[in-house]
């Protein structure tokens, strides 16, 4: 718990590995999914969080954490944590356990927004400069194509911090058919925020299901299987599982520093209108005063449709910036503010 309040803004780390994960008959094996729970617990101990709920399917495993989420694919791990967790301390043990499985780190990506309570963050998250130094010290030297940048906005309290590193030169980086969208929302509608406070001291999976239905989160992607969890006295997390894709939501509802995040994975083959509609549904659930949206490996058509989709919610695009990063490709960052609070 931060001194002034709970830090909602997450830190997000994504590691891609390569190696032989096929058997003699060419059948796809589990790769990183072979990591036993004890190994994952060691990783999370370094980060200072725990698993509270989990679900898996033929493609990946998804864990709801005491502070956000963890997703494990055969050759990719995505972990995002909020509060005063020490996310980057997961890098050394994750690389170690992956190496034991015959896998080698290929790319590392780290993103986050502006902390609400930056002075409460522990090492190595005391500053973006300190974070970059820590990452570079703990990843292999052969990930030599690196870039760190703070993507600004016209809103003083909002900017997007990005670090990427890869062992492949940009022209030889593999084509990615998927992209990631990260949405950060602050100053949630107060009546909506109250839905994420526990009732009758109910917490856990059942209370999480109540919050999912009460807030309408289950309508964002009706085809997803939702693994949800409610915290005491307030707060909510969920992972949505839909084939080989995930979505995730985390809510810190306390007045004065209310925050919600929504993240999803899309495909370059998806209809941009469908993606924009999904984001519109997610933002409508919370009706925030301020929204920032970062897209990785996304087309310009998607960026523009997202901005148009949020207009009916009374949100106006205040700034837009884009940049190129090794391994991650094009990253865009947009900010929106409500014209007025109804």
Which residue is listed with tokens 């307030």?
234
Catalytic residue among 53, 68, 159, 294: 68
Annotated binding site for substrate: 6, 67, 231, 254
Q: Per the structure block, which two tokens stand in for 275?
A: 């993606």
Which residue is listed with tokens 């509802």?
253
- List, run by run, the mean pLDDT of 10-residue segments along the chain (342 residues): 72 94 62 95 97 95 96 97 96 97 96 94 96 98 96 93 89 67 95 92 85 96 94 95 95 94 86 88 96 84 82 92 90 90 47
Annotated binding site: 6, 67, 231, 254
- pLDDT the model gives residue 23: 56
> How far is the C-alpha of 158 from the C-alpha of 221, rounded, in Å?
28
Question: Is 186 in a helix, a strand, or coil?
Answer: strand
- pLDDT the model gives residue 307: 83
Question: Is 199 in a helix, a strand, or coil?
Answer: coil
Catalytic residue among 49, 82, 227, 264: 82
Question: Is 50 in a helix, a strand, or coil?
Answer: coil
> How far is the C-alpha of 118 from the C-alpha of 177, rounded, in Å?
35
Q: At what angle do helices 300-310 and 272-286 cross, to 10 degrees?
A: 40
Could you tell me which of 233, 177, 248 has the C-alpha nearest to residue 12? 248
Q: Per the structure block, which two tokens stand in for 119?
A: 């002075």
- pLDDT the model gives residue 60: 96
Contacts of 191 (CB under 8 A, 6+ apart): none
Catalytic residue among 66, 149, 198, 237: 237
Q: Per the structure block, which two tokens stand in for 268?
A: 């370059």
- pLDDT the model gives residue 22: 64
82 is catalytic: yes
- pLDDT the model gives residue 2: 42
Residues in the chain: 342
Q: Are strands 61-65 and 68-72 parallel, antiparallel or unpaired?
A: antiparallel
298 is catalytic: no
> How far is the C-alpha of 242 from the C-alpha of 203, rounded, in Å?
25
Q: Which stretches does DSSP call E strand in 73-152?
A: 76-81, 104-112, 145-151
pTM equals: 0.93
> How far is the C-alpha of 146 from the C-alpha of 325, rounded, in Å?
8
Catalytic residue among 250, 264, 292, 294: 250
153 is catalytic: no
Sheet holding 245-252, edge to edge: 225-230, 236-242, 245-252, 259-267, 178-186, 290-296, 329-338, 315-325
Q: At what angle do helices 91-100 and 37-47 cross, to 10 degrees?
A: 160
DSSP symbol at 310: H
Give buried/exposed letters for 294-306 (b at 16+ CB in 10 A, else e).
bbbbbeeebbebb
237 is catalytic: yes
Domains of the chain: 11-338 (3.60.90.10)
- pLDDT the model gives residue 1: 39
């Amino acid at each position: 718990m931060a001194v002034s309040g709970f830090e909602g803004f997450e830190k997000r780390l994504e590691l891609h590995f390569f190696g032989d994960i096929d058997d003699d008959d060419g059948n796809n094996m589990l790769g990183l999914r072979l990591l036993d729970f004890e190994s994952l617990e060691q990783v999370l101990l370094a980060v200072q969080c725990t698993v509270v709920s989990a679900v898996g399917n033929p493609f990946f495993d998804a864990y709801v954490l005491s502070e956000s989420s963890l997703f494990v694919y055969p050759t990719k791990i995505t972990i995002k944590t909020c509060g005063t967790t020490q996310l980057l301390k997961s890098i050394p043990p994750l690389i170690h356990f992956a190496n034991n499985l015959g896998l080698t780190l290929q790319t590392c990506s780290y993103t986050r927004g502006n902390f609400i309570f930056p002075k409460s963050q522990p090492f190595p998250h005391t500053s973006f400069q300190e974070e970059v130094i820590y990452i570079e010290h703990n990843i292999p030297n052969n990930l030599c194509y690196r870039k760190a940048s703070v993507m600004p906005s016209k809103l003083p309290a909002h900017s997007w911090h990005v670090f990427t590193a890869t062992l492949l030169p940009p022209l030889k980086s593999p084509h990615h058919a998927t992209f990631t969208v990260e949405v950060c929302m602050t100053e949630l509608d107060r009546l909506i925020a109250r839905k994420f406070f526990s009732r009758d001291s109910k917490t856990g999976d059942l209370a999480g299901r109540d919050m999912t239905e009460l807030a309408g989160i289950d309508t964002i992607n009706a085809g997803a299987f939702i693994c949800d969890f409610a915290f005491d006295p307030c707060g909510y997390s969920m992972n949505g599982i839909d084939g080989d894709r995930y979505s995730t939501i985390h809510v810190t509802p306390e007045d004065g520093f209310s925050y919600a995040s929504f993240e999803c994975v899309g495909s370059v083959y998806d209809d941009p209108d469908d993606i924009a509609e999904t984001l519109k549904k997610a933002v409508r659930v919370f009706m925030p005063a301020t929204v920032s949206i970062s897209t990785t490996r996304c087309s310009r058509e998607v960026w523009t449709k997202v901005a148009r989709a949020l207009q009916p919610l009374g949100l106006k695009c205040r700034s837009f910036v884009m940049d190129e990063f090794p391994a991650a490709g094009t990253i865009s960052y947009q900010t929106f503010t409500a014209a007025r609070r109804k």
